[in-house]
């Protein structure tokens, strides 16, 4: 029997319909919530929204440390172009660089400072407008010490045909090969020669000499791209250098001790043939050394000492030919035996007039070829004994293997870097 509803109450039939409606609403609500949850099915994200179509590569890598100031430094945008890219030093200075024509790469063109942190800035923009930042830092090496170098020939100097190129470092160089690789010699005309490392003398020293005497008129360019070079043992190169000089006329002194005479030969012609006296005696210290000496300096007046024989004796027209104390100079005290006997303490004695005349012709780098004495010039006789070493031995004194060292000076000597960015 169907129940009849009274006011304020529902029949069984009405309550059934309401339950169905409520169930439908709950089902719809559950479906809506499920669709918004992580476990539901989401609308797919396009590839362009997941990954930008431009990527950035930086060299050195972001966060790198102990970077050499001469290492390549660049940023490259793959699939896009660069905008407002800059590398900034700790002081806020923007480091010089160049942007490629297609704007896809930016390269630093000046050396960096030692022990400094550099910061990138800028943006890489892809074809679709997506962007990637250019940012991050890297830090250059902080050396324990820096090593400087001195050249014996002055820039623009004219030298004699036996002048070696001498580089003197203010400290020992551990990695000589690395330093030698950074040195170039360019000559016109081409000249066969080689570097050789001589024993340290308060610091390392390396000489470059031609196989034979220089050709008169040769122009020479030396470049040392040493800044940023790792010398080993925590030391690095302090700075770059260049040196340009020319070779002058050919002048050779032929000094035969057995003849008691000395000849000065200029461009193949004898311009002086004079009586002299050489050093002999029982003590080796007083023997003029046989071998190719090199003129290094000259003085109109010079105080000479050779204890116990004499001290602070004023000599005139003195031309130094070795650091062992050998000079060509005037000595009136031996004038009577010049041309007939060798009585000096190692020097080559001339008359006052002959010494003055020779003095006026002498030039740094002129060879003085002494022969006829019982002792040879050697490493014990000063800093320039280069020509006392035979050519094959000289080549073996290079720090580089034959395949890398090379013996012909030619080509581009390189362009030293500007002052580093601090």
What CA–CA distance (Å, rounded) separates 84 from 94? 12
Q: What DSSP assignment string belongs to 48-74?
A: HHHS-S-EEEEESPTT--SB-TTS--E
Q: Among residues 3, 221, 299, 347, which one is catalytic?
A: 347
CA atoms within 13 A on the CB side of 283: 10
Residue 188, SS3 per DSSP? strand
Number of C-beta neighbours around residue 278 at 10 A: 29
Number of C-beta neighbours around residue 254 at 10 A: 17
Is the C-alpha dihedral spanning 259, 297, 397, 405 positive or negative? Answer: negative
Distance of CA 152 to CAs 16, 206, 243, 244, 384, Å?
Answer: 114, 11, 10, 12, 11
Number of C-beta neighbours around residue 136 at 10 A: 16
Q: Active-site residue 329, yes or no?
A: yes
Number of C-beta neighbours around residue 332 at 10 A: 13
Q: Per the structure block, which two tokens stand in for 139?
A: 């830090």
DSSP state of 376: B
Distance of CA 131 to CAs 82, 100, 310, Å?
Answer: 10, 19, 84
Q: Active-site residue 207, yes or no?
A: no
What CA–CA distance (Å, rounded) separates 387 from 397? 13
Residues with active-site annotation: 329, 347
């Amino acid at each position: 029997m169907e129940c009849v509803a009274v006011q304020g109450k529902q029949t069984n039939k009405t309550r059934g319909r309401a339950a169905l409606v409520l169930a439908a609403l709950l089902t719809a609500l559950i479906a809506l919530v499920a669709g918004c949850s992580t476990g539901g099915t989401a609308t797919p994200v396009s590839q362009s929204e997941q990954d930008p179509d431009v990527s950035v590569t930086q060299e050195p890598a972001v966060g790198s440390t102990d970077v050499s100031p001469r290492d390549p430094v660049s940023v490259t945008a793959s699939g896009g172009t660069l905008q407002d890219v800059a590398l900034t030093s700790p002081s806020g200075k923007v480091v010089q660089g160049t942007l490629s024509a297609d704007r896809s790469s930016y390269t630093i063109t000046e050396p960096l400072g030692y022990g400094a942190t550099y910061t990138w800035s800028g943006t890489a923009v892809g074809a679709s407008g997506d962007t990637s930042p250019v940012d991050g830092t890297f830090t250059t090496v902080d050396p324990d010490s820096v090593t400087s170098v001195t050249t014996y020939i002055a820039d623009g100097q004219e030298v004699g045909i036996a002048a070696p190129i001498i580089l003197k470092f203010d400290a020992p160089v551990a990695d000589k090969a690395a330093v030698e690789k950074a040195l170039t010699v360019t000559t016109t005309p081409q000249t066969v020669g080689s570097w050789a490392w001589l024993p340290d003398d308060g610091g390392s020293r390396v000489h470059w000499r031609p196989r034979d005497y220089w050709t008169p008129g040769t122009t020479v360019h030396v470049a040392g791209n040493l800044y940023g070079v790792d010398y080993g043992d925590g030391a690095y190169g302090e700075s770059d250098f260049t040196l340009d000089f020319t070779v002058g006329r050919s002048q050779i002194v032929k000094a035969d001790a057995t003849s008691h005479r000395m000849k000065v030969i200029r461009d193949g012609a004898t311009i002086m043939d004079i009586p002299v006296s050489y050093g002999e005696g029982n003590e080796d210290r007083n023997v003029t050394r046989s071998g190719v000496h090199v003129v290094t300096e000259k003085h109109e007046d010079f105080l000479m000492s050779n204890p116990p024989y004499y001290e602070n004796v004023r000599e005139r027209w003195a031309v130094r030919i070795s650091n062992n104390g050998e000079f060509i100079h005037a000595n009136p005290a031996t004038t009577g035996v010049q041309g007939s006997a060798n009585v000096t303490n190692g020097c080559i004695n001339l008359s006052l007039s002959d010494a003055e005349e020779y003095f006026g012709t002498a030039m740094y780098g002129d060879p003085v070829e002494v022969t006829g004495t019982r002792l040879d010039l050697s490493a014990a006789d000063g800093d320039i004994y280069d020509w006392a070493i035979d050519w094959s031995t000289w080549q073996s004194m290079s720090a580089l293997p034959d395949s890398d060292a090379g013996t012909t000076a030619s080509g581009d000597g390189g362009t030293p870097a500007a002052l580093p960015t601090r």
